[in-house]
Each structure stands twice: as C-alpha cells, then as structure tokens.
Amino acid sequence: MTDYHQRPERSSTVLKAAVRYSNRKLYYLHFAPDRPIFKPSEDMRKGSFVDAFITQPHMMDELYVRQPDFPKRPTPNQLEQGKNSKPGTKAHDNWKHYNDIEREWLLFNWSLNGREVVPDSWFSTADAIRHTLNQDPTIGPIISQPLPSSQQPHYWEDPDYGPCRYMPDIETETGLYDLKKTRNAACRPFDRDALTYGYDIQMAHYREGFCDRHGHYPKEVGFITYEWEPPYDYSFRPCSQDFLDYGKMRREIAFCMIKKCQDTELWPSHGNHPMNLP
C-alpha cells in the first residue's frame, strides 16, 4: 500500500491536497524529493481494514495478523506454563500464534508492511459492520458481488492531465462505490465532511478511472458510510449529478494549480489576507 501511495501518477489524494492545503504544504507532502513516507492514521487503518474485510475476505490472512487483545503480552515462560491464560483459551492460542508469526518474520526477514498487525477486536468489529450493511436491501447486493477490480489499482493516461491512478473500494458492472468510515453517518454531517475533505474530487477522479478501465462511465456513483462503534449506524449516499459536476470542476482546478506551480517552480503558502469577521 505504501508503494502505491508513493507512485508519481496523479491520484485523488494529491488532487484533494491541492485544493485543501497551501501549495507549500502540497509540495512538502507530495512533490519534494525528501517528502515524508506515507503513514496512514489510526482511522485510515481502520477504514482500510473494513474495506479489505468486506471486499477481499479471502485475502485477510495474507494482509493482516491478529494481535491478541490481552492486557499484557505474556513472556515465553508464562505462555508455555499457561500463566494468566490457560492453553486452549482464545487469548493463549492467539498469543502463541502471534509469537510464531513474529519468529517467521525474524527468520525470513519478512516486512511488517506485508502483513499488518491489528488488534483481534478489529475482526469482530468489521464482522459486525459487514453484517449490518448486508442487512440493507440496497447495500447488501452491492457489497456481496463486487468485481475483481475492487481494491485493485488502475493506471491510465488522461488526455488533458497526464498519468493518473485510482484504487476503488467497490466496483460492480454498472456502479462505483466508496466505503467511508465516519464519526457520524447522518446526512448533514457527512455532506459537510464530503466537501471539506474533497470527496467530490475523489469521485470525479474515480469516474474517469472507471471509464478508462471498463470503457464506459458508471451509471451510479455513491458512498457507503458507516460508524465504527455500535450500533454501527450507516447510510447509502448516491451522488447527484451536481455533486459530480462540482467535483469535476474542482479536479480541473487542482490539476491547473499543480501545473502552474511546477511550471513556475514556485510553491507559495497562504499569503497575505485581511482579517475579517467570519
């Protein structure tokens, strides 16, 4: 995943940053030779985990390792003697499995990026979220039959803006959908977050990638939002044409801003602005 985020093709992440941040910060995050390596936040890791749990259940053992939910990691002696957790119990067996995996990493020099370590509780949370979404008559069919292209990157040459890339959460024969972990799945708060974080730009960019990959635009584009905590509130938000048109406009603005900065080799900050009442 880190390698994907470090690639030079234009992604929705770069385009959103061009609109959200100053050009100076955009350069620092995405264009500087010594730019920082992408490190996902805890919320991003949870979101990616649920994405994989729903769309790639057959890949979970290759992508993730369960770290037992235990107050304190037992020593090898305690583990052998069954102190604090008896053999045969979930905590004991999970810690033993986790230790075995770690020994394999040391023996074969496997990278932690190859199999991400996550708390055991994330699996039960993701399962509850998937079960909740499956019960919805609209969302259930969407997440139960995704195309193989879901969660797979695609690269294409935009005739106006050059090399681009995208990696969709869920694609069907006719639809393009993004799973969004959110603090509040209610319509108003999510609408506000969508424009603040540039989700409109993201979906406009994804539509172009979908068209290049499949030869036609998706008939439906939308968000499947969910909350991490019980009762796992959720919503299904198909995007209106106005929302997608606005995203397309802002996507073009982002490309133009990046090109101007690259042509002039100037990446200014916020500049000088009079202070007024909001």
CA distance 207 to 171: 11
Q: Which residue did the predictor score with more confidence, 63 or 247?
A: 247
Of 126, 146, 130, 274, nearest to 218 by C-alpha is 146
148 neighbors 163 (Cβ within 8 angstroms): no
List, in sequence order, the alpha helices (H) in the chain: 2-5, 12-20, 23-30, 42-55, 60-63, 76-81, 90-108, 121-134, 139-144, 187-196, 199-214, 241-264
- Report the pLDDT value the prediction gives residue 155, as an integer from 0 to 100: 96
pLDDT reading at 71 higher than 50: no
Residue-wise pLDDT for 32-47, tens only, equals 999 888 888 889 999 9
**pLDDT of the residue at 119:** 84
Query: What pLDDT does 93 receive?
Result: 67
Exposed, middle or buried: residue 243 (CB in 10 Å: 0-12, 13-18, 19+)?
A: buried
Task: Say if CB 2 and CB 45 are below 8 A apart.
Answer: no
pLDDT of 118 reads 85
**pLDDT for the residue numbered 220:** 97
- Comparing 154 with 69, the larger pLDDT belongs to 154
What per-residue confidence (pLDDT) applies to 2?
A: 54
- Contact (Cβ atoms closer than 8 angstroms) between residue 165 and residue 9: yes
Q: What is the pLDDT of residues 72-111, one digit of tens each?
A: 555 666 556 655 555 556 666 666 666 665 555 443 433 4
Q: Could you tell me what percent of the chain has a pLDDT over 90?
A: 65
Is the peptide bond between 231 and the residue preceding it cis, with omega within 30 degrees of 0? yes
Per-residue model confidence as pLDDT tens digits over 141-185: 999 887 788 889 999 999 999 999 999 999 998 999 999 999 999
- pLDDT computed for residue 108 by the predictor: 40
For 119-137, write each residue's pLDDT tens digit: 889 999 999 999 999 999 9
Domain with CATH 3.90.320.10 in the chain: 2-55+121-264
Mean pLDDT value of segment 198-227: 97
Count CB-CB contacts under 10 A for residue 211. Answer: 14
**Structure token pair of residue 76:** 């090898």
| Nearest-angstrom CA–CA distance, 112 and 106 | 10
CATH of 2-55+121-264, one of 3.90.320.10, 2.60.40.10, 3.30.2080.10, 3.40.50.150: 3.90.320.10
State the pLDDT at residue 107: 39
Q: Give the separation between CA 256 and CA 246, rounded to whole angstroms.
A: 16
pLDDT, one tens digit per residue, over 190-202 is 999 999 999 999 9
